[in-house]
């Protein structure tokens, strides 16, 4: 169920936006105010409730991609982090915000991790999904995941950038990103230029925001 209900009679504040999907790999139940178009003209969804961050993505590589295809979601909480991303092959981007965490999943489901910025380097905890309340499900071209906000040290401020990366030698690329203008789709080792900065106490749905900076 999605949305923040406003009060009547001029004055009652609207409830913060919230949405809780069933994690089954299908984005069919997601509301339009959580829908984004990626740089590859495919669909992505970002949402949250009081417990979890939710991300869904649709792309043919979800169904067919191998161990060199990655889903990446950089997450910030308004606090300290890094503007240097995690290397994948010879791609290591500059980030447009200070990310504290990176959610990683190989599209063949052979590996997942949570990368945490410890002040000087990225450290990995693996597996991410199936432990600590983090869950993931695939359904054809779709993937859907939930990661506890407490794991990501997120309170009200939430910063997110989602993308796919291919690290195969000679064909490395970054693609299917949201915000869609953060990269030129399919480029090798691009530096991201935009991200989403959400206020979890606002009634505004995620798709109502303008990309930052």
Give the per-residue pLDDT at 5. Answer: 47
Residue bearing tokens 């009547």? 8
Distance CA 199, CA 139 (A): 30
Give the per-residue pLDDT at 7. Answer: 44
Instruction: State whether the Cα torsion 154-147-45-123 is positive or negative.
Output: positive
Give the per-residue pLDDT at 3. Answer: 60
Q: Are 205 and 3 in contact (CB under 8 A)?
A: yes
Let me know if 190 is exposed, middle or buried by CB neighbors in 10 A (0-12, 13-18, 19+). buried
Distance CA 95, CA 183 (A): 11
Which segments in the chain show pLDDT lower than 70? 1-11
Phi, psi of 60, deg, nearest 5? -55, -30
**Tokens, residue 48:** 């949250």
Give the per-residue pLDDT at 6. Answer: 47
Q: Would you give the end-to-end CA distance of the chain in angstroms?
A: 30
In this prediction the pTM is 0.94
Distance CA 147, CA 143 (A): 13
Biggest distance spanned by C-alpha atoms of the chain: 62
Q: Are 179 and 196 in contact (CB under 8 A)?
A: yes
Give the per-residue pLDDT at 13. Answer: 80
Q: Which of 3, 31, 1, 40 is nearest to 203 (CA)?
A: 3
């Amino acid at each position: 169920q999605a949305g923040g209900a406003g009060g009547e009679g001029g004055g009652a504040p609207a409830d913060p936006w919230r949405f809780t999907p069933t994690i089954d790999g299908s984005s069919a139940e997601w509301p339009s105010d959580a829908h984004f178009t990626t740089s590859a003209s495919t669909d992505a969804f970002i949402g949250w409730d009081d417990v979890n961050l939710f991300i869904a993505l649709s792309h043919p590589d979800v169904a067919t991609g191998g161990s060199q295809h990655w889903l990446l979601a950089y997450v910030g909480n308004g606090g300290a982090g890094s503007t240097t991303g995690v290397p994948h092959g010879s791609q290591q981007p500059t980030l447009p915000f200070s990310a504290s965490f990176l959610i990683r999943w190989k599209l063949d489901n052979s590996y997942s991790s949570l990368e945490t910025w410890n002040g000087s380097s990225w450290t990995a905890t693996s597996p991410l999904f199936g432990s600590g309340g983090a869950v993931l499900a695939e359904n054809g071209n779709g993937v859907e995941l939930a990661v506890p906000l407490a794991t990501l040290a997120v309170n009200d401020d939430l910063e997110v950038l989602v993308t796919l990366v291919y690290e195969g030698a000679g064909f490395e690329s970054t693609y299917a990103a949201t915000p869609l203008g953060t990269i030129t789709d399919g480029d090798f080792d691009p530096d991201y230029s935009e991200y989403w900065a959400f206020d979890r106490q606002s009634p505004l749905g995620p798709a109502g925001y303008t990309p930052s900076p």
